[in-house]
A = this chain, B = another copy of it.
Amino acid sequence: MSLHVHKYGGTSVGTTEKIQNVAKKLVACKKANGDQLVVVVSAMSGETNRMTELAKQMQATPSAKQMDVLLSTGEQVTIALLCMALEELGQEAVSYTGGQVKIITDEAHGKARIEEIITDNIQADLAAGRIVVVAGFQGVTKSGAITTLGRGGSDTTAVALAAALKADECRIYTDVDGVYTTDPRVEPKARRLSKITFEEMLEMASLGSKILQIRSVEFAGKYNVPLRVLSTFDDGDGTLITYEDDDMEKALISGIAFNRDEAKVTLEGVPDMPGVAAAILKPISDANIEIDMIVQNIAEDKTTDFTFTVHRNEYPKTMQILQNICQELGAKKVTGDDKIVKVSIVGVGMRSHAGIASQMFSALADEGINIRMISTSEIKISVVVDEKYLELAVRTLHESFGLSVE
């Protein structure tokens, strides 16, 4: 008998009808496979926002500790309702809040990290044939304070429980039916991947395919929990996220990720001396602006050009800060462009194959797409191009690397 952890997010449990559907799926799954089932659920969609709104009326900056007390009620409502729906179908079920499990976390309210999970009671319930329903997103400190893992933390709860219970598979049910080679809205020939590695998924997720919370993928990778993304509303096998194996599809590239909301800024003619990069980036990070790609050109005439990208919303603020830095450092000038996008190819296959980068650059050049910046990692190559080329670039690369549906 196998042990599965399933996770249903807020959209999947957004109404009492949807909760009833989840209950039916679970009972059918248990009947078909005799699986031991643990289900992690989120708050019904809309609840978290409703409560955040209430909190804002009470306090300009609501206390993180009390926010956790407040928000954790959302999942508690769902576990009770789902257990009722299961019992109505004649399936014995038992509910657990994070505190009841005990999912022990550190004390970082609002973004707590799981330290330990005590699974004795859950294992006894599973052995007795009960479906175990656990509130996602929440835990408890050693001293008994309620904590939350931050938005999307239910994925993390599911993966952590799967790791602690040594589950055979952790299934994340969501509103998409798997991980695609790229966004089907941009490339209609995009194909669902039946498998992808943890590392590829991390690169895909951080580059904009926001299906899974990054932390939960890291966690699954660390504890080697096979993770499957699949649709709540349709049948299908979804995408299995696992370690690279011989059986893995032999594609060089698994997918094309992209990010529309980029802007790039350049400080030109910076004196080329030690400490310059830090002097430029510190005021930016002090202003809580996240930096994505960084490129520094080779110095000529003892000056260098320093370019990086930020989220488009941060572009005006970043330009302003750079103007000040420009004067302080005695640089030449500040230039920028907020009409750019980032397109990346991701694949573990590129590790063992030369020529991937040049194939990418050629394919883009053949379509007359000018590359403005390049950045590479072991399993990913990203380029910055003008915004107007986004769709063309994605489709060109999708075709070039043989990802399109036949």
A residues contacting B by CB (< 8 A) are 16, 19-20, 51, 54-55, 57-60, 62-63, 66-67, 69-70, 72-73, 76-77, 79-81, 83-85, 87-88, 95, 97, 99-100, 144, 146
A-B contact list, 11 entries, CB within 8 Å: A54-B77, A55-B80, A63-B83, A66-B81, A66-B84, A69-B83, A73-B76, A73-B77, A76-B76, A97-B146, A100-B144
Say how many copies of this protein the assembly contains.
Answer: 2
Q: Is B81 a contact of A55 with CB atoms below 8 Å? A: yes
For A77, what are the chain B residues with a Cβ–Cβ distance below 8 Å? 51, 54, 70, 73
- Across the A-B interface, give the 9 residue pairs with the lowest CB-CB distance, nearest first: A70-B80, A73-B73, A58-B84, A69-B80, A59-B84, A16-B57, A66-B80, A59-B88, A66-B83
Chain B residue with minimal CB distance to A68? B80
Chain B residue with minimal CB distance to A71? B80
Q: Which of A60, A62, A66, A83 is packed against the most chain B CB atoms within 10 Å?
A: A66
Q: Is B62 a contact of A84 with CB atoms below 8 Å? A: yes
Q: A80 CA to B60 CA in the complex, in Å?
A: 14
Q: Is B69 a contact of A79 with CB atoms below 8 Å? A: yes
Q: A273 CA to B207 CA in the complex, in Å?
A: 89
For A16, what are the chain B residues with a Cβ–Cβ distance below 8 Å? 54, 57-58
For A59, what are the chain B residues with a Cβ–Cβ distance below 8 Å? 84-85, 87-88
Q: Is A85 a contact of B73 with CB atoms below 8 Å? A: no
Q: Which of A59, A80, A85, A100 is packed against the most chain B CB atoms within 10 Å?
A: A80
Q: Is B99 a contact of A85 with CB atoms below 8 Å? A: no
Q: Is B69 a contact of A76 with CB atoms below 8 Å? A: yes
A118 to chain B, nearest CB (A): 11
Chain B residue with minimal CB distance to A94? B65
A23 to chain B, nearest CB (A): 8
A376 to chain B, nearest CB (A): 47
Q: A54-B16, A69-B95 are in contact. Are A60 and B79 (CB under 8 A)?
A: no
Chain B residue with minimal CB distance to A72? B76
Q: A73-B76, A84-B59 are in contact. Are A66 and B54 (CB under 8 A)?
A: no
Please give 4 more A-B residue pairs, beta carbons under 8 A apart, in addition to A58-B81, A69-B79, A70-B76: A59-B88, A60-B88, A66-B95, A99-B99
Q: A83 CA to B146 CA in the complex, in Å?
A: 14
Q: Is B84 a contact of A63 with CB atoms below 8 Å? A: yes
For A95, what are the chain B residues with a Cβ–Cβ distance below 8 Å? 66, 69
A338 to chain B, nearest CB (A): 37
Q: Is A87 a contact of B70 with CB atoms below 8 Å? A: no
For A84, what are the chain B residues with a Cβ–Cβ distance below 8 Å? 55, 58-59, 62-63, 66
For A57, what are the chain B residues with a Cβ–Cβ distance below 8 Å? 16
For A99, what are the chain B residues with a Cβ–Cβ distance below 8 Å? 99
For A63, what are the chain B residues with a Cβ–Cβ distance below 8 Å? 83-84, 87
Chain B residue with minimal CB distance to A143? B121
For A20, what are the chain B residues with a Cβ–Cβ distance below 8 Å? 58
For A100, what are the chain B residues with a Cβ–Cβ distance below 8 Å? 144, 146
